[in-house]
Every structure is written in structure tokens, then in C-alpha cells.
């Protein structure tokens, strides 16, 4: 991999002309939240890991560059397919210039500790959606016998991990994944209780198991891990992105029309689909074929929603569902139970004509239906960004969404895919900076001669 990989986006914005009626079909990409821990897991393996259906998004590009800086060899085998070989991993310290830009970088700490017995974590970044302290990670590492030291450069973890029983005080997907990656290479039997049960956690556990890890309780809140000395390589395919699937369904509920969502797993968003049915949408699923068919005639009925850990309504789907509620008839209470800052985007919807009252950082009242009008907006984070895009699609007139880097972090080629289902959207670029590029690899290291994607 060359050092010419560019991650600074030019100044970009989306121009959306509404209103839109949705029609046609759309395919779901691989899950970002599955791909990122897969990439980190490669550090633990004695042979290469080949990951398929990797979404070509900014967060993946950053994760790959961090992996490269750690000494992992990365081959772009084909579009959306990467082979990672960790034999040359030469450092245990995460790069100070990249880690603060990506919250998921913290997942690297588990495998780095398991491999080297030490690592340094600069303050991780990510979306600004409220308090996201790393105390849970620190407590978990201490339970495994790791010494935690705060330094000017970040947090230093040292010491050979030992098996442990750890009870998560709060359900944490990233925390579960990080300690799972630590435990599979730690001698003895470790137990993680109140572990996250999200499909992405299950997918990671199944990958590790296919490489020789001993894990009991996969898909339950209690994981029992018997550490092993070696893990083989393997091939894994990212599961469908359930957040993207739910966002597309919410788009139909907000705009009206009909849509076939392909390459998805309806079982992973059973609760969100039930909520849309309660609102009056017509939904048919075929889990075997990986298809959801949804149609909506506006206005739908308002219902109250509450976020919850899996299998409940994901916090990442709360913003798109709130937009749909602005077009539904009646009064709805939205209760965000996970992040206290996740509702702070609703003032942007009010700017477009919505009638939303923020009761406190966790709750808001949505009165509808309210016709929305185009506005100039700025995307504050990934999930609020896609919600604003949905709002613009159902609004009358032109909307301009700035800071689309945040949307690009989680959604691959979103404007191209939405155009295919009736959304009038275009990307506009200004400024002299070069566009973001995928990982650049020398031809000699890519057996198919594929550079980037």
C-alpha cells in the first residue's frame, strides 16, 4: 500500500429537489458495523483474512489506513473484497493522526493487546451524538489484568492479559466486540455477561469461530470464550447493513410510494418493520430471497417509538423514523434511550417546517403531518445526515445538504442509488482539494491487478 491514500474530502454538498414518490428497487450494501471489526480481527490471525462485500465508505477507508499503518498488508482483490495479512504487523501503537477521526478505531485495542501485550489509544473520534466515554473499555481491560495509564498521548494499556469474567454495566456493541477479540487469544476461560446481541457481534463471533476460536453462547447475552494460542485465516462476507435497510424503508414511509429492498435480511429489522406496519405501511418479506417489499400511501398513522438494544428499534434508525413521523397523522413521542445528544438534529427539521418539540435530551414530540419545504442544512453525523436527506426528498423545493462527508462515512454511493428509485439528487463539489480515494495498492500486491476498487 502506498502512502498516497487521500482521506480529505473536497467541499461537497447534495442538492435535492422534492417532493419525491419512491418507486423501483434498491440493493443493500454490506454492513459497516460488521466490516470494521472484521478488519481489526485480522491482527489475531496466523494467515490472511479475505473480507467480501466490504462497503466502500469513508469509515472503511480510514480503518484500512489504520491497519496499514500498523503493518498489516492489504490487497484489494476485487471491488469490495480485501485480503489482510497481519504477519508483518510491526507496531502496537495506534496512529495519533488517524485514530481520533474514527470511533471504531478503539476495536483495534483488543487484538493489539492480545498480540503484543501493550497498545496506546489516542482519544477516538466518531459522531457527535452525546457522551461516549471509554470508561467501559478501561474497566473491561482492567478486569483482564491490563494496566491502564493515562498519558499526554492518550491511554496506554500494558500487561499480558489473563482470563476474566466481566459484566458489562451497559450493553455495548463495540465494547463486546473489543473484549471478545481480546479473550479469544487469552489463555483460560473468559466470560462476558450482558454482552451485546446485535447481528454484527454474532457475525464477528462466527468469523472467529470459523478460524478456530472456542466461543459458546453466540447470539446470547453471555459469551463463554476459551482462549487459544493460534487462529487460522479465512474468508468472510459482511452481512447486509440493517441500518441501511431500515433507512430505505423509512424513506418510503416519509415520501410514499413503493420499494423493493434487495440483498437484505428482514429478520434483522423485524421490530422496525412492525413499527412501520403499525403506521399503516404495507410490508411483505422473503427472508430466503433477502427481499422486503414496502408500500405506503400518505399520510400514515403516528405512533410513539422508543429505541432499544437489539432486537429493538436501533438508535441509528431513530432519526429516519422521526422524519417519517413528521409526515404521519397525529402526535408521536420519540424516546431516544441510548444517546442523549442524538435528538439535537430536530431543530433542522423544524427549520424545514416540521412541528417537533424537544422535551429533554432524550424525548421529543412530533406533530404531523406537516408539509416540509427545502432548506440549506448541514449534516451533523451519519444517521442524522441520512435523516436530513430523507426529509429533503419529501420536502417541496430544493434542499442543500452540506458536510456530506458525514453521510459518506456510512452510505456507499448514496446519491447514485437513490436516483434509481426516484430521488432527484446530485452531488456538487466546490474547492480545490482532491476527492477522497480508496486504499491505493501497488499492482504487484494485487493478484488480479486491481488497485483500490
Choice among 5, 89, 127, 211 that is catalytic: 127
The stretches of 117-225 forming alpha helices (DSSP H) are 135-143, 173-183, 199-210
Tell me how many degrees the CA angle 110-114-118 measures, rounded to the nearest 5.
Answer: 85
Place of cell 483500490: 452
Q: From CA 297, how far away is CA 299, in angstroms rounded?
A: 6
Exposure string of 202-216, with b = 16+ CB inside 10 Å and e = fewer, is bbbbbbbeebbbebe
Integer-rounded Cα radius of gyration of the chain: 22
Record the cell numbers describing residue 212, joined without a space: 478456530
Cell readout for 291 is 427481499
Alpha helices in 170-221 (DSSP H): 173-183, 199-210
Active site residue 211: no
Chain centroid to CA 252: 21
CA–CA separation, 177 and 35 (whole Å): 12
Distance CA 284, CA 276 (A): 12
DSSP conformation letters of 33-101: HHHHHHHHHGGG-SS-EEEES---SHHHHHHHHHHHHTT-EEEEEETTEEEEE-TT----BPPTTTGGG
CA 22 to chain centre: 24
Cell numbers at 190, concatenated: 473468559
| Distance between CA atoms of residues 93 and 154, nearest Å | 10
Q: CB under 8 Å to 326, separation ≥6 — which residues?
A: 254, 349, 354, 355, 356, 366, 368, 369, 370, 372, 391
Active site positions, annotated: 127
Amino acid at each position: 500500500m502506498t502512502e498516497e491514500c487521500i482521506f480529505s474530502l473536497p467541499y461537497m454538498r447534495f442538492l435535492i429537489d422534492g417532493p419525491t414518490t419512491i418507486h423501483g428497487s434498491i440493493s443493500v450494501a454490506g454492513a459497516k458495523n460488521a466490516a470494521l471489526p472484521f478488519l481489526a480481527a485480522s491482527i489475531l490471525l496466523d494467515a490472511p483474512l479475505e473480507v467480501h462485500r466490504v462497503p466502500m465508505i469513508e469509515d472503511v477507508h480510514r480503518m484500512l489506513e489504520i491497519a496499514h499503518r500498523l503493518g498489516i498488508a492489504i490487497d484489494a482483490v476485487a471491488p469490495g473484497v480485501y485480503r489482510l495479512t497481519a504477519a508483518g504487523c510491526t507496531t502496537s501503537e495506534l496512529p495519533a493522526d488517524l485514530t481520533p477521526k474514527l470511533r471504531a478505531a478503539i476495536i483495534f485495542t483488543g487484538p493489539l493487546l492480545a498480540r503484543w501485550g501493550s497498545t496506546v489509544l489516542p482519544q477516538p473520534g466518531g459522531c457527535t451524538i452525546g457522551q461516549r466515554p471509554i470508561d467501559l473499555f478501561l474497566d473491561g481491560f482492567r478486569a483482564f489484568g491490563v494496566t491502564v495509564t493515562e498519558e499526554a498521548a492518550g491511554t496506554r494499556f500494558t500487561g499480558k492479559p489473563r482470563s476474566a469474567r466481566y459484566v458489562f454495566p451497559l450493553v455495548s456493541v463495540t465494547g463486546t466486540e473489543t473484549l471478545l477479540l481480546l479473550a479469544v487469544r487469552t489463555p483460560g476461560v473468559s466470560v462476558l455477561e450482558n454482552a451485546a446481541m446485535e447481528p454484527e457481534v454474532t457475525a464477528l463471533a462466527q468469523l472467529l469461530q470459523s478460524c478456530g476460536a472456542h466461543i459458546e453462547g453466540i447470539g446470547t447475552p453471555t459469551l463463554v470464550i476459551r482462549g487459544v494460542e493460534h487462529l487460522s485465516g479465512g474468508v468472510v462476507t459482511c452481512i447486509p447493513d440493517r441500518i441501511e435497510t431500515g433507512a430505505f424503508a423509512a424513506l418510503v414511509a416519509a415520501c410514499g410510494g413503493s420499494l423493493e429492498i434487495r440483498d437484505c435480511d428482514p429478520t434483522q429489522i423485524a421490530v422496525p418493520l412492525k413499527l412501520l406496519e403499525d403506521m399503516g405501511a404495507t410490508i411483505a418479506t422473503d427472508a430466503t430471497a433477502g427481499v422486503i417489499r414496502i408500500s405506503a400511501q400518505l399520510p400514515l398513522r403516528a405512533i410513539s417509538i422508543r429505541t432499544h438494544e437489539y432486537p429493538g428499534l436501533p438508535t441509528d434508525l431513530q432519526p429516519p423514523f422521526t422524519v417519517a413521523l413528521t409526515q404521519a397523522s397525529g402526535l408521536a413521542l420519540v424516546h431516544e434511550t441510548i444517546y442523549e445528544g442524538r435528538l439535537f438534529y430536530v431543530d433542522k427539521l423544524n427549520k424545514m417546517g416540521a412541528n417537533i418539540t424537544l422535551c429533554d435530551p432524550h424525548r421529543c414530540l412530533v406533530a404531523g403531518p406537516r408539509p416540509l419545504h427545502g432548506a440549506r442544512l448541514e449534516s451533523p453525523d451519519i444517521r442524522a445526515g441520512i435523516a436530513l436527506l430523507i426529509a429533503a426528498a419529501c420536502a417541496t423545493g430544493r434542499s442543500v445538504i452540506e458536510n456530506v462527508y458525514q453521510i459518506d462515512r456510512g452510505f456507499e454511493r448514496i446519491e447514485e442509488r437513490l436516483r434509481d428509485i426516484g430521488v432527484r439528487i446530485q452531488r456538487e463539489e466546490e474547492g480545490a482539494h482532491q476527492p477522497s480515494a480508496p486504499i491505493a495498492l501497488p499492482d504487484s500486491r494485487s493478484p488480479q491487478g486491481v488497485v483500490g476498487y
